[in-house]
Amino acid sequence: MSVIHRFVEKHFLGILFSMHFNLPKNDSKYYWTQHSVRKMMFYGLTADKVKRIIKSPKRVETGVAENTIAVMQSTGTGKKPTEVWVMYANATNHRLPTTNDKNKSLGKLSVVSSKLLVDNFLSRKIIISAWRYPGISPVGKQIPIPADILEELKKEGIMVE
């Protein structure tokens, strides 16, 4: 196969995948950073897969960025095992919404109990990054994050050196 054919095939498949990729929507439970959306597209991960990993992880570690959590589920086959990792933060460090804030889903002001408002906001997770790790990562050691992802996290100010 010629170089041109490989180039066209590679980019056509990328365009085809991005056409069918549904962008995750921010809601009361999850906030998706642009970085996480780009990495999900790159690694072929869906929002449902990421949510499933957060809800029932096989392993939980401390994230490399400050106040973050990294969770993992095993994927792949017995001969070629892989892991899918998700790094997220709980939204406790951010401004709490008030009952005067506009409810975007209804398009009008909503009146809700303050306890319900606080509980929903505190349970919101900010999805920072998601990636596939080839193989099985060592337990209890620093999370194996690909170098390109670390560099992007540093550029975006999510992580400091």
The reported pLDDT for the residue numbered 105 is: 43
The reported pLDDT for the residue numbered 106 is: 41
HSE, CB side, 13 Å, CA atoms: give it for residue 135: 7
Strand segments, DSSP code E, in 20-80 are 30-32, 59-62, 69-76
The reported pLDDT for the residue numbered 108 is: 40
Whether 15 has a pLDDT exceeding 80, the answer reads no
Q: Categorize the per-residue pLDDT at 4 as very low, low, confident or very high, splitting at 50, 70 and 90.
A: low
Phi, psi of 61 (to 5 degrees): -135, 165
Q: Is residue 132 part of a domain?
A: yes
Residue showing tokens 């869906």 = 46
Q: Is residue 86 part of a domain?
A: yes
- 159 within 8 A of 64, measured Cβ to Cβ: yes
Whether 148 has a pLDDT exceeding 70, the answer reads yes
Q: Is residue 18 part of a domain?
A: no
Q: Is residue 5 part of a domain?
A: no
pLDDT in tens, 112-144: 444 444 455 557 899 999 999 888 888 877 777
- 122 within 8 A of 91, measured Cβ to Cβ: yes
The reported pLDDT for the residue numbered 5 is: 59
Q: Is residue 13 part of a domain?
A: no
What's the mean pLDDT in 141-157? Answer: 76
pLDDT in tens, 40-96: 999 999 999 999 999 999 999 988 878 889 999 999 888 999 999 999 998 875 444
Residue 136 CB partners (closer than 8 Å, separation 6+): 74, 81, 83
Q: Is residue 15 part of a domain?
A: no
- 54 within 8 A of 64, measured Cβ to Cβ: no
The reported pLDDT for the residue numbered 140 is: 78
HSE, CB side, 13 Å, CA atoms: give it for residue 113: 3
Q: Is residue 3 part of a domain?
A: no
Specify the higher pLDDT residue, 157 or 5. Answer: 157
CA distances from 50 to 58, 96, 161 (A): 13, 25, 26
Residue-range definition of the domain harbouring residue 60: 24-155
Residue 114 CB partners (closer than 8 Å, separation 6+): 99
Give the separation between CA 137 and CA 158, rounded to whole angstroms: 23
Q: Is residue 136 part of a domain?
A: yes
Domain total in the chain = 1
* End-to-end C-alpha distance for the chain, whole angstroms: 44
Q: Judge if pTM exceeds 0.75.
A: no
